[in-house]
Amino acid sequence: MKSSFVVALSFIATAFAADPIAPPAPLIGTPTPGYSITNCVRPFDAAAADKTSVGYQFWFADNAFADGNTVKLSVVGPHLATHAPHRHGEDEYFFVLEGTAEFYLDGERKVAGPMTLFYSPSWHEHGIRNVGETDLKYLVLKKYLLPAPHATDVKQVPGAAQLPALKAP
């Protein structure tokens, strides 16, 4: 799994980076205060993982850490899903580390394994579930638009009642 994390961390660095084709911005200004090697390195800690009804999750970076940019490890047991397909205002990436995932996007499904990236643009109905016989481990990368997690979930957005009903895969 160590090699999966190396690739995943490389992906994370690129996912939140500026336009990769543009030349680097000149170094103007000062670094954002509050960051240090102490809080910018977060190893996995099983004791700090949150148990869920289908496995567990671990926030490497929650929405309070870096301007809403988040990185979460989700682990889901065989033939389970964290929740039904849904919509929200943020783009969301899922990077599969281990296991077999079925990604759902706007009525279509794709099954894939490790080292696969799934992307859900904002407001597209999406979901991910474990269709394998072993735990599914994947990273979720998302920049929250509002300060609290799930603050932009479809059920909490004004006008959400006009959106089509969501169906489980």
CATH number of residue 123's parent domain: 2.60.120.10
- What pLDDT shows up at residue 146? 64
100 vs 98: CA distance, rounded Å: 7
Please give the residue that has the higher pLDDT: either 145 or 153: 145
Do residues 76 and 88 lie in contact, with contact meaning Cβ atoms separated by under 8 Å? no
In a domain, 144, yes or no: yes
In a domain, 113, yes or no: yes
Q: Which residues contact 146 (CB under 8 A, 6 or more apart)?
A: 152
Strands 101-105 and 50-51: unpaired
In a domain, 32, yes or no: no
Average pLDDT over all residues of the chain: 82
In a domain, 21, yes or no: no
In a domain, 26, yes or no: no
| Burial zone of 2 (CB within 10 Å; 0-12 exposed, 13-18 middle, 19+ buried) | exposed
Angle at 121 between CA 118 and CA 125, to 5 degrees: 85
In a domain, 168, yes or no: no
Please give the residue that has the higher pLDDT: either 45 or 9: 45
* pLDDT at residue 3 is higher than 90: no
Q: Which domain holds residue 113?
A: 2-16+44-162
Q: What is the pTM of this model?
A: 0.73
* pLDDT at residue 2 is higher than 80: no
Do residues 93 and 116 lie in contact, with contact meaning Cβ atoms separated by under 8 Å? no
Do residues 162 and 123 lie in contact, with contact meaning Cβ atoms separated by under 8 Å? no
In a domain, 49, yes or no: yes
- What pLDDT shows up at residue 165? 40
Looking at the structure of the chain, the number of domains it has is 1
Do residues 72 and 58 lie in contact, with contact meaning Cβ atoms separated by under 8 Å? yes
In a domain, 143, yes or no: yes
The token duo for 43 is: 């190893």
Do residues 77 and 130 lie in contact, with contact meaning Cβ atoms separated by under 8 Å? yes
